[in-house]
Structure 1
Amino acid sequence: MKRTLSLIFALSFSVLFVHAQDIKVEPPFWYAKMPTEKLQISLHGEELALWRVSVNTPGITLVNQLAGDSENYLFINLTISPDVAPGKIDIDLRKGKKHKKISYELKERSIDSNRNLGFSSEDVIYLLMPDRFANGNPENDTIEGMLEPARRDDPSGRHGGDLKGVQEQLDYIKELGMTAVWLTPVFENDQTPEYKGYHGYAATDMYKVDRRFGSNEEFVAFVQACHDKGLKVIMDMIHNHIGDQHWWMKDLPFKNWVHDQSVYGNTSYRGSVASDPYASKYDEDKLIKGWFVNEMPDLDQRNPVLADYLIQNTLWWIEYSGVDGIRMDTYVYPYKEYMARWAKEVIEAYPNFNIVGESWVENVASESYWQEDKAGEDDGYNSHLPSVTDFQIHFAVRDAFNSDFGWESGIMKLYYALSQDRLYSDPMKNVIFLDNHDIGRIFSTLGENPDNLKMAYAYLLTTRGIPQVYYGTELAFKQGPGEWGDGAKRAEMPGGWAGDERSVFTKEGRTAAENDMFDYVKKITNWRKSSKAIHEGKLLHFLPTDNVYVYFRYTDNERVMVIMNMNDKPMTISRKKHIEMLRGFSAAEDVMNGASIDISKDFQVPAKRTTVLQFK
């Protein structure tokens, strides 16, 4: 009789107890003793909105549970005491007699001090696209069940580069003198072949690395490998939009998580509207609520559950991977109040961390608006964003080599850009660049003239700010076929794929012209590592005259003189004109060739060269 009752009880319990393997849980785990006590857990599964939650772990309080507009979502808000140790939390869900249990893990935080270090003007950032850099694992080029296969013959298709490939070439990046690596997004982008999502900016799962790049674990290993070689890692994120194949789009948690494209259409791409005191409501809505492209649903961060989800996702990746900084894509397109909250909470949680926001706008005033602690803003806005992408420096370099304004040369654009630095709260924190993955290759922009590229590169590494170098610049990559389309800007690195005829990762595999540019970049980039005047010094410049621009970087103990001679002939530099910075010095060293230069009197500099002199 006892055996029969036991069997009946067991059968009845198996009917009542429902296993939780069919529930998608985000974040997949969390950490004990995090900088924030708040934790929002998102649960997705059939009719979960009808279930009730309880948590009975000491030190953990269930604040509330929220059902989504979809009955398949449940959001659990917890507070976790700093006293709670790493381990498992049992989350119980009940609906009538049915019972589900989720065993949720709080992991132990890393004690490694060589992580989450931030980046600064001491660094030179190397920007690369994993899909186009190197293919370390051909087995993951095309994944069964994922929508887009590898198509190397298509300039805008997926080519198969991955994390393993990049990791195998870290010595190449290190040799160049780079100190940080910025990868375009590694999130899953399971988009259709027609969309071409190799670039990573259309996330379909924000908690997964795209399997064609590798795994979450491989990304963590990549970050550790970079740290072991003294390289920092900057992670690219996007909170303005997702991909239209994101798993949310099949079952939106809340109807207002995504702006209605039928009402707002696509964005105007005019970022200056966000800081314009006279902007119309129509233009504001077009910028903020319009979709970036048809395949990128635009997120509405005013929904508090979505805002918490996105901020928490950021904190999870920082803690999980150990990355040192974040580059936030399309920073001026979302609601600026949300972006300020996001930046503030991230920096408060990780004080040594750094963030650069992509602020692609048309002028210095619009650019400076987005940097933290900006004084004099009538609207009282503080972005809490440490660093902005300084597009004004890119525009100035482009125009310096390609414009003639009659009575003054294009090089004045460099002077004009820096002369407005008072508008920034800290221009030394600006990330400066010649080009990137969205802009035409700088070598082609500068007329495919190696002298022009060397001049521009030396300027980039000696002016104020944090230099970012786009992969291939060190090899004078040209704009590829397809005129100015995206694929033409994002060529493969020869030698990154098995069977390539040559490898630019070796001296023997590079052409004479490539080695010449590589050696130039390597020399000046490695020199920059030791220059306190460049890292933290003040800047003083002189009005360009006769197509020559002179500026100094200096501290109390070190002084560097930079002379950009745009002319096709040598030019004489007046000691008298520059005496306020030359007084007390009679000799300087050319950092590129080690030559001693007599500056006790007027001296000459070569044609079409940026001469960098370090004072003795």
Structure 2
Amino acid sequence: MERPTVELMVYGENLATTRVEIGTHPGVTLDRVTEVENPNYLFVRLRIGDTATPGTIPLHFRHDAGTLTRSFELRPRRTGTYAQGFSSEDVIYLLMPDRFANGAPENDSIPGFLEGVDRSDPDARHGGDFAGIREHLDYIDDLGMTALWMTPIFENDMPPEYGAYHGYAATDMYRVDPRFGSNDTFRRLVESAHERDLKVIMDMIHNHIGDRHWWMDDPPTGDWVHDFDKYGTTNYEGAAVIDPYAAEHDREQLTDAWFVPSMPDLNQDNELLATYLIQNTLWWIESTGIDGIRMDTYFYADKDYMTRWTSAVLEEYPDFNIVGESWVPTVPHEAYWQDDFQAHPDDYDSDLPSVTDFPLSFAMQDAFAPDGGGVYDLYRTLAQDHVYPAPNKLVTFLDNHDLTRFFSVVDEDEDAFKLAYAFLMTTRGIPQVYYATELMQPMLDVEGDGAKRPDMPGGWPGDARSVFTEEGRTARENRAHDFVTTLTTWREDADVVHHGGLTHYIPQDDTYVYFRHDADDTVMVVLNNAEESRTLALDRFEERIQGHTAGRDVISGATVALGDSLTVPARTPMVLELRK
């Protein structure tokens, strides 16, 4: 690998009293042994030379009372297709493994683990797993999705009252949660996805861990995590780390305080911890073959560390892609985190290729909500794209596992849903679709985050129906499924949408018109969000229509003439492939 050293965290009683030696292995030398204040840890750094070969390296810990030997395996590099990255050519399907499908009920409850399964509780574990996802990869592929993002898969052995089914409170960063499967079953899931040309994006968290992580019983150093008594919980104010007028107290409160009391905040200023986290990432990529990473709570961690981490990953895997979760409402605060942003007040450069486009997500919610501002919000938000170094690399979305389900945002209005989904599939960026959005899934009538995270009917043995089949879906679900499939599968081959230019026109009468165009193709999109049909005079758009006389409506399949005017029915999207 590009990185010539690997640092091993070795844990055992009074290791500091031992002398470390390694057995002879071609190309491998002992570079350094670091002792820390806790005598139960040693950090052993090996240098892997160009002549090194795969094999097992013995580590000898010698003491007057005897010698303890442990082995470290040096593995060959992975071959084949992996670390592909993701781009505007993709549509990402986001799911929560615990809530999608249960293909292996035998792993629902693991002896010794703090939580089993209780489907009657919306905030408990429900039993979804990798086996269930593998069973339904064809369903995801047939929708037109090209990438799969799962919320974190790390072991989360947390108490039932915490509800760690979501995966964001890791208790072992090198182990898959056994209620999802094993490290090997995850590798097989990645392989099965790749066989269908589905990329896999892994969700990671370097800002915090769960308070039942084994480190917390005996941490390596006193500063391994930030002091809760000093910092408390975060202020959640993302602007503080960017604000040129921010008090240092507020910045520290954002980045050094704990996300919640059960999530210790990791101190990435600790060099040994920083190395551990970087190596852990490289290990997951190389050992499983994933194609991208979504980094949770990106700006809550130390930003200089995050740049170092991003650079290390991209140096090793140049085709890889990373999207950082930056939950902020304004375009400048979002753009700050993307690589090559030109207006940093502090000369910061993140190296981060992609960020989550929350400003556009909020604009989509406002544009189509009953009491929102209308489609002008979309125009106004996109008009600020000059702030982003690379707006087409942003990940766009209607909703996700933390937001109110979009279909509920629009009061279960099918027309509003179709308008919004058509926009998501045709505007710039990398679209992400939250599982069950293809069914127009509303919020459940329960309290808490479980309302956003329903089980997929048919994913569990004994379910009364299966939404994975046409006959198992309701009429409304089939209308949504067909609409989503039509647009998403069309987008798979629509290079003009992947990489083409975007020209939009100031909305009039709650109707928004824009074009995607390149040297070969032009797509005209009309979103009529009004309660009445609109007849558009087409001379206004001549600079982009450029002599085209008709268009095929991707949604209806009909051919639409482009004369002096175009009539668009009320509350209707049109996606027209223009023809001369």
TM interval, short-chain normalised: over 0.9
Number of the residue aligned with 1:325: 292
C-alpha separation between the residues in 1 aligned to 2:426 and 2:341?
25
Tell me by how many angstroms 1:404 deviates.
Answer: 5.9
Percent of paired sites with the same residue: 53
Distance 2:422 2:180 in 1: 33
Query: Partner of 1:592 in structure 2?
Result: 555
Q: Deviations over 1:125-178 (max 9, x none)?
A: 000000000000101101110001111110000000000001100011011000
> Residues 44-443 of structure 1: matches in 2 within 5 Å?
44-55=11-22, 56-112=24-80, 114-402=81-369, 409-443=373-407
Q: 1:351/1:60 Cα in 2 relative to 1: closer, same or farther (>3 Å)?
A: same
Question: In structure 2, how many angstroms separate the alpha carbons of the residues matched to 1:402 and 1:180?
Answer: 28
Aligned: 1:453 with 2:417: yes
Is 1:268–1:287's contact at 8 Å kept on the other side of the alignment? yes
> SS at 1:76's partner residue?
strand
1:182–1:234 Cα contact (<8 Å) kept: yes
Distance in 2 (alpha carbons) for counterparts of 1:83 and 1:423: 47
Q: Tell which structure's C-alpha radius of gyration is larger.
A: 1
Paired amino acid for 1:554: H
Cα distance 1:577–1:404, how it changes in 2: closer, same or farther (>3 A)? farther
- Distance in 2 (alpha carbons) for counterparts of 1:64 and 1:450: 63
Segments of 4+ moved more than 6 angstroms: none
Classify the secondary structure of the residue corresponding to 1:94.
strand
- Distance, in Å, in 1 between the alignment partners of 2:277 and 2:45 is 14
Whether the 8 Å contact between 2:171 and 2:210 is mirrored in structure 1 is yes
**Structure 1 position 520 matched with structure 2 position 489:** no
CA deviations on 1:419-477 (whole Å, 9 max, x unpaired) are: 11111110000000000000010000011101111110110010000000000100011
Q: Secondary structure at the match of 2:220?
A: coil
| SS class of match (1:198) | helix
d(CA) in 1 for partners of 2:122, 2:156: 18
Secondary structure of 2:539's aligned partner? coil
1:61 shift after superposition = 2.4
Distance in structure 2 (CA, Å) of the matches to 1:167 and 1:446 = 32
Tell me which amino acid in the other structure corresponds to 2:470.
K
Mapping of residues 481-560 of structure 1, within 5 Å? 481-483=445-447, 485-560=448-523
Per-residue deviation at 1:96? 2.5
Cα distance between partner residues in 1 of 2:182 and 2:546: 58
Residue type of the alignment partner of 1:295: S
SS in 2 for 1:544: coil
Work out whether residues 200 and 292 of structure 2, in 8 Å CA contact, stay in contact via their aligned partners in 1.
Answer: yes
- Worse-matched range after superposition: 47-56 or 349-358: 47-56
Mapped to 1, the partners of 2:310 and 2:78 lie a distance apart of 22
Matched, 1:40 2:7: yes
Contact 1:428 1:465 in 2 (8 A): yes
Which amino acid in structure 1 is aligned with residue 110 of structure 2?
A: I
Instruction: Confirm or deny: 8 A CA contact 2:370 2:410 kept in the other structure.
Output: no
Give a deviation string over 1:498-555, Cα, whole Å, max 9, x none: 1100000000100011000000000000000111110000111000111101111111
What SS does the aligned partner of 2:165 have?
A: coil
Q: CA deviation at 1:60?
A: 1.8
Q: Is the 8 A contact 1:272 1:362 kept in 2?
A: no
Unpaired runs of 5+ in structure 1? Answer: 1-33
The residue type paired with residue 567 of structure 1 is A
Distance (Å, rounded) in 2 between the aligned partners of 1:282 and 1:128 = 37
Could you say which residue in structure 2 is the equivalent of 1:23? none
State the distance in 1 between where 2:169 and 2:36 align: 23
| TM-score normalized by the length of structure 2 | 0.98
TM-score w.r.t. length of structure 1: 0.93
Distance 1:298 1:481 in 2: 33
Report SS of the residue matched to 1:332: helix
Cα distance, 1:600 vs structure 2: 2.6
CA deviation after TM superposition for structure 1 residue 403, in Å: 6.8
Distance 2:331 2:568 in 1: 31
Q: Choose from 451, 459, 464 the match for 2:428.
A: 464
Q: Indicate if the aligned counterparts of 1:585 and 1:600 stay in contact, CA closer than 8 A.
A: no
Cα RMSD (Å) of the superposition? 1.1
Q: Deviations over 1:355-380 (max 9, x none)?
A: 00000012000000000111132311
